[in-house]
Amino acid sequence: AKLGVRLLFAKPYSPEGTGKIERFNQNIDRFLDEYKVDKMPKTLEQMNDRFWVWLEECYQNKSHSALGNKTPVEAYHLDPKPLKYLPVDVVANAFLHSESRRVDKSGCISFGSVKYEVGLAYVGRMVDVIFDPNNTETLTVEYQDDPPLIATKLLIGEKVSERPPLPEYLTAIKPSESRLLEAAKRENDKRKEKTSATAISFRNMRNGGGGNV
């Protein structure tokens, strides 16, 4: 789909719908029959060399009635449609495998019994995982129109990745004074004021109330 190529299926047991393939398979069978009588040592490399010679001389440059007695090479060059060449990375990406995964609460996905870090921004979202089945050290994660990102394996243990710093609003601030002592001091000051207001002045009582108490 990424290359704009459609996959068409022929009906079962309908060779007339796959005439070109059937004809090509017959050509391969003829090559194998000829190769059996070849007296040269039969190695895989030699077999491939002989096959390409056979394909070039006995198929691609041989006239076909279905092509108006033209050779496949001639028909190919007479096609007016221009060839469309795609970048290598686009073609390689088109043949990668793809699966869907949901990002968990820790910002990770589980793939092949291994956790991969995706990011907290994708928690709860269903993402597409693009991967090469022969190399799953890193995965490419795609989500809607966001740029693709690379997911790496989650490391747990002594070699764990360095912990990212906390946001400023979650960072603890060291106090410049003891709030407990300040509260105790305020309560003590209130207590002194209350005691001072209700205290009896014996000097005032003596001056205003005679010599006896």
CA dihedral sign, ordered 197, 198, 203, 206: positive
- pLDDT classification of 65: cutoffs 50, 70, 90: confident
Question: What secondary structure does DSSP assign to 44-74, as a single string?
Answer: HHHHHHHHHHHHIIIIITS-BGGGTSB-HHH
The answer to whether residue 176 scores a pLDDT higher than 80 is no
Span 193-205, mean pLDDT?
62
Q: Which of 153, 127, 131, 132 is nearest to 142 (CA)?
A: 127
Residue 175 pLDDT exceeds 80: no
Nearest to residue 84, comparing CAs of 191, 193, 3, 2?
A: 3
Check residue 24 and give its pLDDT.
Answer: 86
Q: Are strands 149-153 and 135-142 parallel, antiparallel or unpaired?
A: antiparallel
Which pLDDT score is estimated for 208?
54
3-state secondary structure of 157: coil
The 10 Å CB-count burial string (b at 16+, else e) for 130-145 is: ebeeeeeeebbbebee
What pLDDT was estimated at residue 41?
67
What is the amino acid identity at position 153? Answer: K
Residues across the chain = 213
Beta partners for 152? 117, 138
pLDDT value for 162: 67
Residue 33: what are its φ and ψ, rounded to 5°? -65, -40
- Residue 213's pLDDT is 46
- State mean pLDDT over 114-119: 91
Mean pLDDT of the chain: 82
Give 128 or 173, the one with higher predicted confidence.
128
pLDDT band for 100, please (50, 70, 90 cuts): very high
pTM to 2 decimals? 0.43
Residue 108 CB neighbours (<10 A): 21
For residue 109, which amino acid is it?
Answer: I
- 42-51, 65-74, 171-180: range with lowest mean pLDDT: 171-180
pLDDT greater at residue 28 or residue 2? 28
Q: What are the angstrom distances between the C-alpha of 58 and each of 27, 74, 91, 205?
A: 8, 14, 30, 137
The percentage of residues in the chain with a pLDDT greater than 70, rounded to a whole number, is: 84
Given a cut of 70, whether residue 204 has pLDDT beyond it is no
What's residue 85's pLDDT? 85
